[in-house]
Chains A and B, each alone.
Chain A
Amino acid sequence: MTNKKAQKSVDIAPAKNGGSGFYSDIVKEHFFHPKNFMEDDKAYKADGQGMVGSPACGDVMRVWIKVDKKSERVKDLKWKTFGCASAIAATSMMSVMVTEGEGMTLEEARKLRPQDITERLHGLPTRKIHCSVLGDKALRSAINDYYRKQGETDKIEIESGRIIDKVLKITDHDIEEAVLEGATNLEEVQSKTKVGTGDETCIPEVEQLIRFYREKFFGAE
């Protein structure tokens, strides 16, 4: 994993595909030939599983993990995704990133950010970024599930920050990050996070938070 500074500087705008609507070759590879997707969940003995999203808002991601209890490394990750090309490719890439080499530790896996996945995919078209932001949440949910099953409830981490969109599990931190990355209004924050498409009732609060963070970081308008 890269250090925190480097992570912050990752540009999730589609610098590498010139902003066109087209997907990079890596996105296409993962979309047309998805890696590690769950073929038979009944026969699979998962140590933890998590799900996020709803079919009504257009994205559902489900993640199953197997964990080596001694090293706390992810030995296997399987997934299923209902969503567009970006969503499928992002979950597929996530499964590769988490399990490659000796596998990420649960600690590392928890820190995986959508930006890291987007970067490995060589960028996504700007209006597709929001489709890639749910896989990591499903993964964190699966990690919590693992700790719950192990009886290590002290290690369960509720999504850092306060959950604003209950369906998509989007927190105030996600909105803060979107504003820091340049979003100035609801539409732009939605294009980065999808907030409010699963749970419309949270939109007024989202708008309030956008104003709050804009004032905090960029001064009053």
Chain B
Amino acid sequence: MSKGKKEKKIIKAKTGNRSIAKKNKLTSNKSVRFVYMDHAATTPVDARVMKAMLPYFDKYYANPSSLHAPGQVAGAAVFNSRNSIAEILNAHADEMVFVSGGTASDNLAVVGTVNSSAVEIKKLFGADALPHVITSAIEHPAVLEPLIKLERKGKIELTQLKPEKNGVLRVKDVVDAINERTVLISIMYANNEVGSVQPIAEIGKAIIKYRKSKNIAYPYFHTDACQAAGFFDLNFEKLHVDLMTLNGGKIYGPKGIGLLFVRRGVKIEPMIYGGGQERRLRSGTENVPGIVGLAKALELAQAKREKESDRLIKLRDRLIDGLLKIEKSRLNGDAKKRLPNNVNISFMDIEGEAAMLYLDAKGIYCSTGSACASRALDPSHVILALGLSYEAAHGSLRFTLGQSTTKKDVDYVIKELPDVVRKLRAISPVSLDMKQF
């Protein structure tokens, strides 16, 4: 009895909300642990963030555009939040554009710059000339999908660069892909699936060198830093980026709020028209609690990023070492150049969704690159872009650690996963050679 009580306590302490575990229909065992290892999908909101946000729902609820006193209180909160984030990015407050999330920010960055540059490209290179955009094949769909759409509509020419097998791009490949019509290069800071970290500062430097040599303003450089924001330096001058995407839901802040950093001088068109908020780039009444929450979350995450990175790297490597002891397994992405919280491993001869749901029943919550877990019928485009097989993508599991993750959690996964793999292999008719992996 006392054991059951103790475990319940663990659940409460970790989530503050036991009902999630309780409500989970696939969880038959009532005393299972609650090991959330899907922080790349989203993080819980930090209590301090929530506290900072709360007054802006019912006390200081006025519209920040209003000139009356309550409006000015809300306006001041937005002003302060803007300044606080700008300081972290070493940028100006007027370079912060609040939007409704990471996807909205990515979309605005790529579509907005393409649209604003199209006229100029036609003026320079003739009516048939198209703006050229470079991105990576492992980009988040929030960048890839709008670009693919623009390409299909005949509005841009698109180059999707393949990374090396470890998921890291070569700076030279990026530079070699630039031509005189290249208006935008969009490369994520760190990959959400396999955790590979890109050499953003070096790519940025090379782009600036190119612009200087040609004496032109293009190509712009955009990076999606949503996964990186809790672990790495976001100083835009050190990264040499012109546009940068951040959001709340990956850094213990609220969902539904994002930010696009737009360097002064960058020409960009809005996608949403209306009252002209956010320097006309994102009309619509500001999400004041969200903005306050994003600023607070970013401040907290950046303050402890080095310490937290060190702590998570130890846990990450412990988990990797433990799981790679399972036969016929492989680590996806680079062993060193990867996010401190990301573990992505493929297990041969089993399918990821089945493994994920077996883990779910044990109170371990992760995700998979298998086709069966996606809305489309295709397995992870990231794992395939690394040159790995469909089998590797179908059998991949991603564990992303976070602030609540303890050594005990890691050891629990190391203890439970071999059994899941064994069970699923026992009913699998497939037994592939590692070479095919």
Render A5-23 as a binary contact track against B, CB cut-off 8 A, 1 for contact: 0000000000000000011
The answer to whether A82 touches B349, judged by C-beta atoms less than 8 angstroms apart, is yes
Residues of B within 8 A of A57 (CB): 371, 390
Residues of B within 8 A of A84 (CB): 351, 353-354, 370, 372-373
Q: How far is the CB of B329 from chain A (nearest CB, A)?
A: 16
In the complex, B394 has a CB within 8 A of chain A: yes
Main SS of the interface on chain B?
A: loop
In the complex, B285 has a CB within 8 A of chain A: no
Of A23, A84, A87, A191, most buried by chain B (CB within 10 Å of CB) is: A84
Residues of B within 8 A of A34 (CB): 427
In the complex, B350 has a CB within 8 A of chain A: yes
With A82-B428, A84-B373, A127-B375 given, is the CB distance from A55 to B391 under 8 Å? yes
Residues of A within 8 A of B28 (CB): 28, 32
Of A23, A39, A83, most buried by chain B (CB within 10 Å of CB) is: A83
With A23-B26, A58-B390 given, is the CB distance from A81 to B377 under 8 Å? no
The answer to whether A85 touches B354, judged by C-beta atoms less than 8 angstroms apart, is yes
The answer to whether A58 touches B349, judged by C-beta atoms less than 8 angstroms apart, is no
State how many residues of chain A have any CB contact under 8 Å with chain B: 36
Residues of A within 8 A of B351 (CB): 58-59, 82-84, 87
| Residues 170 to 222 of chain B near chain A (Cβ within 8 Å) | none
The answer to whether A28 touches B372, judged by C-beta atoms less than 8 angstroms apart, is no
With A58-B390, A88-B354 given, is the CB distance from A194 to B428 under 8 Å? no
CA separation between A23 and B377, bound complex, in Å? 19
Q: How far is the CB of B259 from chain A (nearest CB, A)?
A: 31
Q: How far is the CB of A64 from chain B (nearest CB, A)?
A: 10
The answer to whether A58 touches B394, judged by C-beta atoms less than 8 angstroms apart, is yes
| Residues 32 to 75 of chain A near chain B (Cβ within 8 Å) | 32, 34, 37-39, 51, 55-62
CA separation between A60 and B424, bound complex, in Å? 13
Residues of B within 8 A of A38 (CB): 427
CA separation between A194 and B377, bound complex, in Å? 8
Residues of B within 8 A of A85 (CB): 353-354, 357
| Residues 348 to 398 of chain B near chain A (Cβ within 8 Å) | 349-351, 353-354, 357-358, 361, 370-373, 375, 377, 379, 389-391, 394
Q: How far is the CB of B305 from chain A (nearest CB, A)?
A: 34
The answer to whether B391 touches A56, judged by C-beta atoms less than 8 angstroms apart, is yes
The answer to whether A31 touches B427, judged by C-beta atoms less than 8 angstroms apart, is no
In the complex, B126 has a CB within 8 A of chain A: no
The chain B residue sitting closest to A32, CB to CB, is B361
The answer to whether A37 touches B427, judged by C-beta atoms less than 8 angstroms apart, is yes
Residues of B within 8 A of A23 (CB): 26
The answer to whether B372 touches A58, judged by C-beta atoms less than 8 angstroms apart, is yes
State how many residues of chain B have any CB contact under 8 Å with chain A: 28
Q: Tell me which of B25, B361, B372 contacts A131 (CB under 8 A).
A: B372
In the complex, A130 has a CB within 8 A of chain B: yes
In the complex, B432 has a CB within 8 A of chain A: yes
The chain A residue sitting closest to B373, CB to CB, is A84
In the complex, A169 has a CB within 8 A of chain B: no
The answer to whether B26 touches A56, judged by C-beta atoms less than 8 angstroms apart, is no
Q: How far is the CB of B350 from chain A (nearest CB, A)?
A: 7
The answer to whether A82 touches B377, judged by C-beta atoms less than 8 angstroms apart, is no
In the complex, A80 has a CB within 8 A of chain B: yes
CA separation between A32 and B379, bound complex, in Å? 23
Q: How far is the CB of B359 from chain A (nearest CB, A)?
A: 12
| Residues 273 to 301 of chain B near chain A (Cβ within 8 Å) | none
The answer to whether A128 touches B428, judged by C-beta atoms less than 8 angstroms apart, is no
In the complex, B41 has a CB within 8 A of chain A: no
Residues of B within 8 A of A171 (CB): none
CA separation between A191 and B376, bound complex, in Å? 9
Residues of B within 8 A of A55 (CB): 349, 390-391, 394, 430, 432
The answer to whether A128 touches B372, judged by C-beta atoms less than 8 angstroms apart, is yes
In the complex, B429 has a CB within 8 A of chain A: yes
With A130-B377, A190-B377, A191-B377 given, is the CB distance from A56 to B357 under 8 Å? no
In the complex, A197 has a CB within 8 A of chain B: yes
The answer to whether A81 touches B357, judged by C-beta atoms less than 8 angstroms apart, is no
Residues of A within 8 A of B350 (CB): 82
Q: Tell me which of A39, A56, A81, A197 contacts B428 (CB under 8 A).
A: A81
The answer to whether A82 touches B390, judged by C-beta atoms less than 8 angstroms apart, is no
CA separation between A77 and B394, bound complex, in Å? 27
The chain B residue sitting closest to A91, CB to CB, is B427
With A58-B394, A85-B357 given, is the CB distance from A80 to B427 under 8 Å? yes
Q: How far is the CB of B437 from chain A (nearest CB, A)?
A: 10
Residues of B within 8 A of A194 (CB): 377
The answer to whether A51 touches B373, judged by C-beta atoms less than 8 angstroms apart, is no
| Residues 180 to 198 of chain A near chain B (Cβ within 8 Å) | 190-191, 194, 197
The answer to whether B377 touches A51, judged by C-beta atoms less than 8 angstroms apart, is no
Chain B residues engaging chain A, CB cutoff 8 angstroms: 25-26, 28, 349-351, 353-354, 357-358, 361, 370-373, 375, 377, 379, 389-391, 394, 426-430, 432
Beyond A51-B429, A57-B390, A128-B372, 17 extra complex contacts between A and B, CB < 8 Å: A23-B26, A31-B354, A37-B426, A39-B426, A61-B429, A80-B428, A83-B354, A83-B372, A84-B351, A84-B354, A87-B372, A130-B377, A131-B372, A191-B377, A194-B377, A197-B371, A197-B377
Q: Closest 4 interchain pairs by CB?
A: A84-B372, A80-B429, A62-B429, A84-B353
